[in-house]
């Protein structure tokens, strides 16, 4: 769908519409009908949650989850190498043949398509795809093990909200006050129906406006406007993303306030720095400039705070792993603490050895993995608290690693692997533990503690990974990857083009960038201290940790602000009770939005097959 239909953002969010839509249409709706006609044959709530968890896990593989990144990294080097871009001099000699298509003709067929009578050369894809999937399996194992280690701390001791999972339970029909938890009550809730009709009506109107006779309502990607504060100050994108707004409404108000507050802080600081003529000299390794480095300081302190607050629990996990018998509480985990520690160690060793075989030295490989999973842990925690369906961090872990060491201190093989690592290190969906942590939260709502859930999850991930890669490779050979809407060729040139920039330019985080990194650590440290010592403190460290300086979080400024404002108004008028009573309305908005997406797909397939319309943008 993404490759041939142009709907490239349907699998972008952490809980994507590309998964929710078929789940609601093919699983939940038929189950509701079955429950009304023959209740004994309908799926129970636990079975629904199991299917939901499997689908959520499987949705992490296609398109921007894994397949588009991986296939781009495999196919690009041989096809785009030329004396002009120096890939044949600086890249190809330093890459082992098992990580990419070394045969130019096979790469050409991928990008330009095959002629009638030609066959897809599946055999040349087997080796690189196999080894890349082995690496991804190790990274997913590391992430799952970290989730098991931190689950009880986050869910039982700190009682994080997990707004995305909470909204998912409401979609399935579960709510804390239901007496019969197997009978969904939201179809009979008037606020739910009102939200559904409002969102679907807006989406249907925009579908009718595809012919140009009607003006479109400002809930589509083309309605993006930019608020300009002053010259030299970056603009603030204003786009009413109904999907992001609905999930954000389930997040705590203090987090929403901190998110838009620090967004404004970043905008004002960037503008002042531009006025003063202060810029980062390490643009190739520091996205977002000096302000981006400052927000990364917030990430570092936030990560340290997460580990510090969990220190007693981590000690308990270590002791429990050596007990001969698994206790009652440990049975709530996806798997035992012993297996978690063993998997963490084994997956890390395999990943380091894989990177070493590809050309990355072991010390750099260890540092890179530590940085990457530190960032991923922070993002998983941020989404668990905020419910941001599109959250990501400003600086990518491979960029940050290059910046810390400096390109002058890295070998060409090191630089090549760190550039190639864009195939997974810049992936904020699949390997960030967001999906696994929410699935672990859903498991606590299952009867019999979701026994066997981890096996179902592994099966779903494996099948989805194979099918998504096969589908993309097949589509590319049939139509030519250069002709696909998702343009995997563009990703490949970006990945390895960054390698050339690093190889030909001395880049390293300098004194000024370090100063802003330390200032970010100080700011978020003060925010954490205020939260610990003062009950009235309005700021949350999540705002500084997820601070974005021009990416998807800033693009969601308007939904975040509106969700905060609505919460404040409702709580001031009717207290927490009124806020909770309003939640079904936004559950209805999610369903209505998904119905509108389905309608747009049908309209495009029938009337606009060559020019599809985007219904989502982040």
Q: Where are the domains of the chain?
A: 2-607
| Average pLDDT for 189-193 | 89
- Residue written as token pair 């039982």: 156
- The answer to whether residues 139 and 350 touch, using CB atoms and an 8 Å cutoff, is no
Comparing CA positions, the residue from 350, 360, 362 lying closest to residue 134 is: 350
Residues 6+ apart with CB under 8 A from 109: 118, 120, 121, 477
| Average pLDDT for 594-603 | 93
What is the model's pLDDT at position 489?
66
Between CA 20 and CA 26 the distance in angstroms is 10
| Average pLDDT for 72-78 | 89
What is the model's pLDDT at position 175?
54
Q: List phi, psi (to 5°) of 236.
A: -105, 115
Q: Is the pLDDT of residue 330 over 80?
A: no
Per-residue model confidence as pLDDT tens digits over 472-498: 999 888 888 888 877 776 778 888 888
What is the model's pLDDT at position 524?
94
Q: How far is CA 411 from CA 83, 414, 417, 593, in A?
A: 21, 5, 10, 50
Per-residue model confidence as pLDDT tens digits over 380-407: 999 999 888 888 887 889 988 998 898 8
Q: Is the pLDDT of residue 605 over 60?
A: yes
What is the model's pLDDT at position 573?
93
CA 618, chain centre distance (Å): 11
Residue 227: count other Cβ atoms within 10 Å of its Cβ: 12
Between CA 306 and CA 547 the distance in angstroms is 17
| Average pLDDT for 300-317 | 94
**DSSP, residue by residue, 520-532:** HHHHHHHHHHHHH
Per-residue model confidence as pLDDT tens digits over 96-129: 999 998 888 888 999 888 888 888 889 999 999 9
What is the model's pLDDT at position 174?
56
What is the model's pLDDT at position 610?
77
Per-residue model confidence as pLDDT tens digits over 148-174: 999 999 998 999 988 888 888 887 765
Mean pLDDT in the chain? Answer: 87
Enter the pTM of the model: 0.91
Q: Is the pLDDT of residue 2 over 60?
A: no
What is the model's pLDDT at position 4?
45
| Average pLDDT for 198-225 | 89
| Average pLDDT for 332-360 | 93
What is the model's pLDDT at position 382?
92
Query: Which range among 169-183, 275-289, 442-456 shows the weakest confidence by mean pLDDT?
Result: 169-183
What is the model's pLDDT at position 609?
83
- Residue written as token pair 């996990």: 317
CA atoms within 13 A on the CB side of 507: 22
Query: Which range among 172-186, 225-239, 341-355, 431-445 shows the weakest confidence by mean pLDDT?
Result: 172-186
- The answer to whether residues 593 and 204 touch, using CB atoms and an 8 Å cutoff, is no
Q: pLDDT-derived band of residue 227, with 50, 70 and 90 as boundaries?
A: confident
H or E stretch at 590: helix 557-607
Per-residue model confidence as pLDDT tens digits over 416-459: 999 999 888 877 888 888 999 999 998 887 766 656 888 999 99
CA 300, chain centre distance (Å): 19
| Average pLDDT for 320-325 | 79
Between CA 48 and CA 46 the distance in angstroms is 5
Rg, the chain, Cα only? 24
H or E stretch at 227: strand 225-227
What is the SS3 assignment for 238?
strand
Per-residue model confidence as pLDDT tens digits over 9-18: 788 888 998 8
Question: β-strands 236-238, 225-227: how paired?
Answer: antiparallel
What is the model's pLDDT at position 231?
85
């Amino acid at each position: 769908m993404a490759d041939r239909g142009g709907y490239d953002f349907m699998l972008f969010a952490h809980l994507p519409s590309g998964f929710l839509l078929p789940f609601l249409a093919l699983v939940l709706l038929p189950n509701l009908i079955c429950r009304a006609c023959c209740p004994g044959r309908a799926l129970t709530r636990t079975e629904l949650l199991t299917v939901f968890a499997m689908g959520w896990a499987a949705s992490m593989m296609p398109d921007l989850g894994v397949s588009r990144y991986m296939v781009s990294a495999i196919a690009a080097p041989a096809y785009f190498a030329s004396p002009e871009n120096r890939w044949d001099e600086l890249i190809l000699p330093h890459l082992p043949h098992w990580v990419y298509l070394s045969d130019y003709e096979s790469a050409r067929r991928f990008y330009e398509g095959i002629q009638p009578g030609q066959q897809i050369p599946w055999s040349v894809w087997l080796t690189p795809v196999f080894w890349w999937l082995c690496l991804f399996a190790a990274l997913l194992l590391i992430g799952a093990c970290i989730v098991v280690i931190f689950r009880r701390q986050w869910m039982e001791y700190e009682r994080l909200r997990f707004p995305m999972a909470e909204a998912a339970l409401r979609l399935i029909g579960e709510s804390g006050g239901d007496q019969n938890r197997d009978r969904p009550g939201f179809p009979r809730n008037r606020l739910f129906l009102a939200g559904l009709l409002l969102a679907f009506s807006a989406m249907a109107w925009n579908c009718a406006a595809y012919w140009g006779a009607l003006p479109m309502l400002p809930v589509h990607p083309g309605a993006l406007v930019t608020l300009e504060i002053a010259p030299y100050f970056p603009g603030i994108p204003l786009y009413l993303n109904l999907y992001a707004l609905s999930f954000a409404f389930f997040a705590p108000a203090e987090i929403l306030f901190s998110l838009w507050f620090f967004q404004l802080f970043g905008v004002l600081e960037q503008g002042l720095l531009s006025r003063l003529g202060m810029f980062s000299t390490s643009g190739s390794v520091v996205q977002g400039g000096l302000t981006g480095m400052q927000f990364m300081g917030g990430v570092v302190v936030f990560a340290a705070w997460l580990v510090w607050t969990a220190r007693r629990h981590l000690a308990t996990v270590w002791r429990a792993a050596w007990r001969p018998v698994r206790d009652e509480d440990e049975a709530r985990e996806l798997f035992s603490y012993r297996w978690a520690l063993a998997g963490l160690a084994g997956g890390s060793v395999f990943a380091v050895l894989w990177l070493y075989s590809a050309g990355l030295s072991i010390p750099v490989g260890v540092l890179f993995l530590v940085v990457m999973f530190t960032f991923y842990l922070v993002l998983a925690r941020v989404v668990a608290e905020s419910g941001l369906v599109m959250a990501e961090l400003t600086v990518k872990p491979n960029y940050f690693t290059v910046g810390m060491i400096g390109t002058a201190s890295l070998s060409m093989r090191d630089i090549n692997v760190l550039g190639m690592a864009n195939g997974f290190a810049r992936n904020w969906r699949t390997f960030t533990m967001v999906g696994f942590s929410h699935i672990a939260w859903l498991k606590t709502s299952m009867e019999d503690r979701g026994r066997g859930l981890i096996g179902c999850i592994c099966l779903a991930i494996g099948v989805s990974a194979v099918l998504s890669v096969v589908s993309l490779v097949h589509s590319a050979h049939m139509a030519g990857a250069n002709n696909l809407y998702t343009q995997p060729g563009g990703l490949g040139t970006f990945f390895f083009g960054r390698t050339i920039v690093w190889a030909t330019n001395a880049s390293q985080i300098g004194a000024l960038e370090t100063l802003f990194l330390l200032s970010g650590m100080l700011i978020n440290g003060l925010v954490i201290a205020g939260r610990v010592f003062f009950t009235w403190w309005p700021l949350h460290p999540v705002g500084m940790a997820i601070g974005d300086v021009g990416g998807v979080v800033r693009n969601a400024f308007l939904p975040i602000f509106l969700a905060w404002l609505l919460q404040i108004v409702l709580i001031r008028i009717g207290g927490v009770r009124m806020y909770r009573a309003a939640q079904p309305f936004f559950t209805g908005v999610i369903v209505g939005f998904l119905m509108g997406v389905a309608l747009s797909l049908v309209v495009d397939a029938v009337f606009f097959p060559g020019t599809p319309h985007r219904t989502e943008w982040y």
